[in-house]
Chains A and B, each alone.
Chain A
Amino acid sequence: MREAFPLLIEACQIALVLFAAPLLAGWVRALKCWTQGRTSPGVLQPYRNLIKLFSKDIVLAHNASWVFRFTPYLLFGSVLMAGAIIPIISVDLPLSATADIIALVALFAIGRFFIALAGMDVGTAFGGMGSSREMMIASLAEPAVLMTTFTVSLFGHTTSLSEMVRFIGQQNFFLSPSMVFAAIAFVLTLLAETGRVPVDNPVTHLELTMIHEGMILEYSGRYLALVEWAGMMKLFIFTSLGVALFVPWGIPQGDDLMDIPLAVLIMAGKLALVAAGIVLAETGLAKMRIFRVPEFLGTAFLIATLGMLSHFILEM
């Protein structure tokens, strides 16, 4: 029976990523409404949206090719795969050896590659513009992500997510300068990777400010539902990844099924707090001009580099 525990935990986690992601997105939106003095439709609204979209017919442009139709499925698949790998409710996941953190970043890159292609497939200017900008932001974010990864991996001499989280989780709570720098850099890249203010605005449909929305403008029905759901999962996964890397205390180290409910609760608490932070940033900041984004991401890279340098200089 005990042998099946890791598999059960894995199944729990996949279910959690699938079904809690809209809740997190709903929580972010509701909080945002409250901080801006609006009435929110409730934290469950994303579920209603998804259900509505799944039941709708699809409207497809004449020259949409198979790339356009294949992309939502692939995006969903690759993001869910990433969700199965990172340690959210347990460090001991059977699938965690599938990919280390570098491969995890690449898993997100697959989805991005295809969604950028889908943006160009129909042949509108908005789609192409969104693709071009998304790829630019992604390529500038990548070095910062890698530097952050590198800094965190220096502690446990590993890039395996489980091992990194296990190593840091086994220490007493500590704040080292390099970790703080890495965490700040991670937050900045998280905002860019998940398309939040100040880099992109997830609620805009104003022509010239769209990035992510520009690429998916032509999607409808279940395709749009899958893309939206994948976007919510991505936000969920990125925030959980940040939590797992920088404040892993509370994620169970073993494979005991009894630990899981508590772990889920602790995780939910942490995520709710992180989401509140994102909302505060989104409310307090305005969206940047697109060509200020390189400076923003350059800052993230610099901070991550400082983190690495401070590890070598101060902590060795």
Chain B
Amino acid sequence: MEGSLSSLVLTAIFILIASVAIVPLFHRRQHLIVSIIFPVFSAASLFSLFAGILAVAGGEAETLILPVGLPDLPFHLRLDPLSGFFITVVSLLAFCVSIYSRGYIAGFIGKRSVTHLAIFYPLFLAGMLLVLVSDDAYFFLISWELMAAASYFLVLYEDGVVENRRAAYIYLVVAHIGAVAILLAFGVMAGFAAGFDTFHGYTFDAMRGASLPPAWASTAFVLAFLGFGAKAGIVPLHVWLPEAHPAAPSNVSALMSGAMLKTAIYGIVRFTFDILHTPQLWWGELVLAVGLASAILGVLAALLENDLKRLLAYSSVENIGIILVGLGLGMIFLSFHQPLMAALAITAALYHTLNHAMFKGLLFMGAGAVLHATGVRNMEKMGGLIHKMKWTAPLFLVGCLSISALPPFNGFVSEWLTFQAFLMSPSLPSQHLNLVIPLGAALLALVAALSASCFVKAFGVTFLGHCRSEACATAHDATPSMRAGMMIAATACLLLGVFPTVVIAWMGNLSSQLAGETIARSAGEVGWLWLTPVSAQRASYAAPMVLLGIASVLLVVFLTLRSKKSAIHRVPLWDCGFEKITSTMQYTSTAFSMPPRLIFGYLFHIKERVRPGLPDGRPAEFPAKVNYSVRVRDRAWGWFYRPVADLAFRLAKHTARLQHGRIHIYLAYSFFTILFLLLVAL
């Protein structure tokens, strides 16, 4: 059965790319495109999902050489547990989202053509899968660019809106700066693998064998971390994320946040643990610090946000931070030659990767359903949707519970494992790390609690209370296929949370590939019920017991009280005798986030303004209306982007002096360049 799994993945990719050729033929039959092609995409995702799961379980690496591309530079493909794991992540989400898309995209029919959405969507999926299977720098970068370009066009789908065009442009610029850094990182690796005068170092296999001086290894690492980090959305390179993710249609946002960011995590893991394979201590410290900064700034920005999709995008920055925290710990432990501890940290990080794909996908799909129903993204205009969206509300709540790290859902398992990894740090033989790392754990606790606060706000303001505007008065629930997509993701959130031992046993090969050790044996040593990452004496968590325990208490209490006769009287809201209570008197999203804005506001650029309304004959001390506005901006804009952009423009201005628009001057340039090159070469 040699190569059978990789051929399954290739089949999926082939189906996706072939559909690109077929879709334009049905341009006039928009309904047909939506109802036929998206189920095909989910089927294709199912293929690659199986291949991914089996590749991780099998633990073998399959390699394949495709004789295409430039002469003498064939494409190398490889399916090992690491790529298998990320293929599972991407495909599982793509499966849910493709089912969801059928209902969601149908909403666009009649407003704008869905043809190019149906073209770039499969290209985007195929690009992500190709990134994960490619095994040489050349093919990797082609796939990487395919993914970036396809997602750029998807972000630009609703191109009539100025913000969307701006968002897509920022996205494109950051994506390319990242790609340049990745290219340079591969260049350094390839150069040391086979010398700087040949191309033969371009395969990952050659790079694995390269022996780099520590300084050059660090250079390669920093370049790769910058490049992949730009895509993953680490602080301060994250600003494209809250612009681009909300601009894209919600199904694409779900894929970008849930899956595409994970390919960047894949890049970091592949580059650090596989290609460079001996992380240095300070790399781990850097990744840990950047991860913590991203987590804390991401969650605070999310908490201060009023736009539902921007909130979710910022929360992705937070979760990428949590993943990086795990990876950073893994690198630190590996640099001290503690493979078991590293296995714990890496498992935690990768588990969180899988979890984040599921719950963030679910939340973006839920946000899409809300957007579909109300037409607004601003939470201040929503409220009370739980009464109108009977399915979406509980499913969105599952996502909120998972992302807030509440047991028995999946987000808790991975955060718990990350905490356990943190608690292992006292056994490191380094005094200053012993003192500093626990502070990171405290910061992570703060992040987890703030994220709970953020999602109380997101769910509470959107779905609970009274309707705040006419937008939600006519709201309707999600269509059956949208529900189905969300329901699968929600089920995955629950199952991944309740059966962590099964998942970790499955991930065993993965951590042995990366850290040379696995926690799969110790994690389930007492039985599948108890998750014991290191040993039962050290820490244990039994998610099924938590679920069963709470559910049984709940049931017993409910039934006991049910049997008693006590009526429920439905009455109007208690208004303190005021009698004129309106929906605008509810606590708003801005009001909810006022305490954190006051406490952590110095981390952001906040402009708050209170102005009296129009003069209406009343004395100025008693205005009938007051206008209040608050604008929260990332400091990264002013500190990092603005200077860089200004510099780029200034340089461009100077360079522009070369250009006169006269052809003979350009010819002279070419002539002198060739002359110069010839002189140098000879």
Q: Which residues of A contact B (CB under 8 A)?
A: 54-63, 65-67, 73-74, 76-78, 80-81, 84, 95, 97-100, 102-103, 106-107, 109-110, 112-113, 116-117, 119-125, 127-129, 131-133, 135-136, 138-147, 150, 153-154, 157-160, 163, 217-218, 221-222, 226, 290-291, 294, 301, 305, 308-309, 312
What is the CA–CA distance of A158 and B108 in the complex, to the nearest angstrom?
A: 55
Instruction: Return chain A residues, CB-CB under 8 Å to B574.
Output: 61, 124, 217-218
Total inter-chain residue pairs, C-beta < 8 Å = 256
Instruction: Return chain B residues, CB-CB under 8 Å to A58.
Output: 566-569
B544-572: which residues lie under 8 A (CB-CB) from chain A?
545-546, 549-551, 553-554, 557-558, 561, 564, 566-572
New contact pairs (17) apart from A61-B571, A62-B570, A117-B464, CB-CB < 8 Å? A54-B561, A58-B569, A62-B573, A73-B558, A74-B554, A76-B557, A81-B549, A95-B549, A102-B420, A103-B416, A109-B404, A109-B406, A132-B592, A136-B599, A139-B596, A144-B442, A158-B539
Known: A61-B574, A97-B542, A142-B448. A132 touches B594 (CB 8 A): yes
Instruction: Return chain B residues, CB-CB under 8 Å to A129.
Output: 587, 591
Q: Which residue of B lies closest to A61 (CB)?
A: B573
A93 to chain B, nearest CB (A): 12
B598 at interface by CB-CB < 8 Å: yes
Whether B546 and A99, one on each chain, are in contact in the complex, defined by CB atoms closer than 8 angstroms, is yes
Whether A77 and B540, one on each chain, are in contact in the complex, defined by CB atoms closer than 8 angstroms, is no
Partner of B453, one of A74, A139, A144, A221: A139
Whether A55 and B566, one on each chain, are in contact in the complex, defined by CB atoms closer than 8 angstroms, is yes
What is the CA–CA distance of A33 and B406 in the complex, to the nearest angstrom?
A: 38
- State the 6 A-B residue pairs at the shortest beta-carbon distance, nearest first: A128-B587, A123-B465, A139-B449, A120-B460, A135-B453, A77-B553
Whether B537 and A160, one on each chain, are in contact in the complex, defined by CB atoms closer than 8 angstroms, is yes
Whether B530 and A97, one on each chain, are in contact in the complex, defined by CB atoms closer than 8 angstroms, is yes
What is the CA–CA distance of A278 and B397 in the complex, to the nearest angstrom?
A: 36
Q: Interface readout for B419-444 with A: 1 if CB under 8 Å, 0 if not? A: 11001001100010011001101110
Interface 9-residue window, one of B264-272, B340-348, B380-388: B380-388
Interface centre among A57, A110, A125, A127 (most CB of B within 10 A): A110
Known: A74-B554, A153-B423. A106 touches B386 (CB 8 A): no
Whether A99 and B541, one on each chain, are in contact in the complex, defined by CB atoms closer than 8 angstroms, is yes
What is the CA–CA distance of A129 and B588 in the complex, to the nearest angstrom?
A: 9
B536 at interface by CB-CB < 8 Å: yes
B177 at interface by CB-CB < 8 Å: no
Whether B539 and A159, one on each chain, are in contact in the complex, defined by CB atoms closer than 8 angstroms, is yes
Interface range, B side: 35 or more
Known: A60-B571, A123-B384. A128 touches B435 (CB 8 A): no
B595 at interface by CB-CB < 8 Å: yes
Whether A160 and B571, one on each chain, are in contact in the complex, defined by CB atoms closer than 8 angstroms, is no
Whether B460 and A106, one on each chain, are in contact in the complex, defined by CB atoms closer than 8 angstroms, is no
What is the CA–CA distance of A220 and B149 in the complex, to the nearest angstrom?
A: 57
Q: Which residue of B lies closest to A110 (CB)?
A: B406
What is the CA–CA distance of A143 and B444 in the complex, to the nearest angstrom?
A: 8
Instruction: Return chain B residues, CB-CB under 8 Å to A143.
Output: 442-443, 445-446, 449
A61 to chain B, nearest CB (A): 5
Partner of A158, one of B459, B537, B561: B537
17 A-B pairs, CB-CB below 8 angstroms?
A57-B567, A63-B387, A67-B397, A73-B554, A73-B558, A102-B419, A110-B550, A117-B464, A120-B464, A123-B583, A124-B586, A128-B460, A131-B460, A138-B453, A157-B538, A291-B599, A308-B435
